[in-house]
Amino acid sequence: MPVSRRGPPSGAAPISGRLVNEIDMSQKTFAFFPEAAFGPALNSVGIAQAIEALGHKAAFLSDPGFVGVYRGYGFEAHPVNLSEPMPPEDMAKFWENFINGHIPNFRKKPIDQIDNYVKDCWEAIVASAKWAEKDLPGILARIGPDVICVDNVILFPAIKHHGKPWVRIISCSENEIEDEAIPPHLSGMSVSDTAGHKAFRDRFNEVIRPIHDDFNAFLESTGEAPYPLGQFFEASPYLNLLLYPEPVIYQRAHPLDPERFQYLEGCVRDEEPYELPRFGKNETGPLIYVSFGSLGAGDTELLERIIAAIGNSRFRALVNVGDYRDAYTDVPANVHLAGWYPQPSVIPQVDAVIHHGGNNSFTECLYFGKPAIIMPYVWDGHDNAMRVQETGHGLRMDRYAWSDAELLANIEAMLTDPAMTARLAATSAHMQARRGPEKAARLLARLAGA
């Protein structure tokens, strides 16, 4: 579990009582409400770390299963029931079990996932918004935030009704904010496939209509106006923060208003240093980091294939296996397994990454200038896989239809491509110069009047 590194600098001078009172009077409180997944959760942690570095207070509203994550970083966290209450250990496993139950659907094209995985997701997400409405008003009244930051794909009416500025954080792919000139969210389609865009939107709206009608009925019960078909959230009238870096953003028909939409260039959090392990062979070989995220680790058959391929190569690998370490026996000497890696401390030390296309993994590879093979399976991983290939920052591969020789050849190709290396170096320099978490903290503080 990550630990907090926040606190006063070593040797800091004592502060007078008068100054303490002045600081307390000017301190603002920022509430963060990310969805129950490590990508949004850890992105919000990065922003919250920067908020507290400015002298303000950050508190988290959390699915009960994620309370320990935020407290592990040293933050105050308040549980919000997003489903029928259950023991915390069961709640923590809810989405993991949900994902594992859909593993057969990961072999399908994104458009063919709409009437199974995507539909089931939206049913669960709408149910979570209804449940949250029971707890949120009271919790917000106790915390008394000056600004509320929501990283989710659905509206929680209590956030709008609290009477304070609220911010939408888009830690998924940038096309979560729709535009007719770019691929629809979750489609994994290229920019040029306009016929495919229409087919995907039509199919999505057809399947999602009953769920959307139910959500609109809920909105009207809270005094909110219904949304157009296909829309479950809206842009904040105050501020919207997008995790996507500018070198890979889409060219929109209607550019986003910079007064309300700001790009955070990856917004990478701080983590504890990571010391590389020693390997039993290939000690000087190129190092690959493999991770399909906390939810994708249940696809052990796929990870076993990748481990076996790398085991017979000149490479070394760090492989994130989540809670499934016991599923692996006979691990090659050039492969190291762990259930958790402090990813922002690991990626700078590796030569290439294989991941699922989650937005944190996507942006962290760009931030540190590392080429990536993306094998997507669901949600915006499809969009990020297409985007990494379209912009020349990595390669998109089918999750299952590949041979060992193809995988290893693609790794070699990335490591020896001078144009990709130069592009990644330029993107990394651009992102690191923007200091995303600090930018977010400054924008939020300004919104709070600090």
CB 28 within 8 A of CB 445: yes
Tell how strand 239-242 and strand 335-338 pair up: unpaired
Please report the pLDDT score of residue 259 as a whole number: 92
Residue 3's identity, in one-letter code, is V
Q: Name beta bridge partners: 170.
A: 242
Q: Where are the domains of the chain?
A: 27-269+434-447, 287-432
Helix axes 436-447, 38-53, angle to 10 degrees: 70
Strand partners, 374: 355, 396
Helix (H/G/I), strand (E/B), else coil: 121:
helix
Termini Cα distance of the chain:
33
At 133 the pLDDT is: 96
Residue 445, Cα to own-chain centre: how many angstroms? Answer: 23
Q: What is the pLDDT of residue 10?
A: 29
The confidence score (pLDDT) of residue 88 equals: 65
Q: How far is the C-alpha of 336 from the C-alpha of 317, rounded, in Å?
A: 6
Residue 141: which of 242, 55, 31 has the closest Cα?
A: 31
Chain-centre distance of CA 407, in angstroms?
25
Write the CATH number of the domain with boundaries 287-432.
3.40.50.2000
Q: What's the pLDDT score for residue 265?
A: 83
The predicted structure's pLDDT at residue 295: 75
- The label of the residue with tokens 């865009």 reads 197
- Chain mean position to CA 158: 23
352 sits in which H/E element = strand 352-355
Residue 423 is predicted with a pLDDT of 98
Sign, CA torsion 342/345/351/357: positive
375: left (phi over 0), alpha (psi -120 to 50) or beta: beta
3-state class of 92 per DSSP? helix
- pTM here is 0.88
Q: Which CATH number fits domain 27-269+434-447: 3.40.50.2000, 3.40.50.170, 3.90.1150.10, 3.40.50.300?
A: 3.40.50.2000
The reported pLDDT for the residue numbered 92 is 62
Over its length of 450 residues, how does the chain's per-residue pLDDT go in tens digits? 333 333 322 222 222 333 333 344 589 999 999 998 888 898 899 999 999 999 999 999 999 888 999 999 999 999 999 888 877 677 667 767 887 888 889 899 999 999 999 999 999 999 999 999 999 999 999 999 999 999 999 999 999 999 999 999 998 899 999 999 999 999 999 999 999 999 999 999 999 999 999 999 999 999 999 999 999 999 999 999 999 899 999 999 999 999 999 998 877 777 889 999 999 999 999 999 999 987 788 899 999 999 999 999 999 999 999 989 999 999 999 999 999 899 999 999 999 999 999 988 999 999 999 999 999 998 999 999 999 999 999 999 999 999 999 999 999 999 999 999 999 999 999 999 988 899 999 999 999 998
Do 270 and 49 form a contact (C-beta atoms < 8 A)?
A: yes
What is the structure's pLDDT at 9?
A: 28
Intrachain domains 27-269+434-447 and 287-432 with the same fold: yes
How many CA within 13 A on the CB side of residue 107? 7
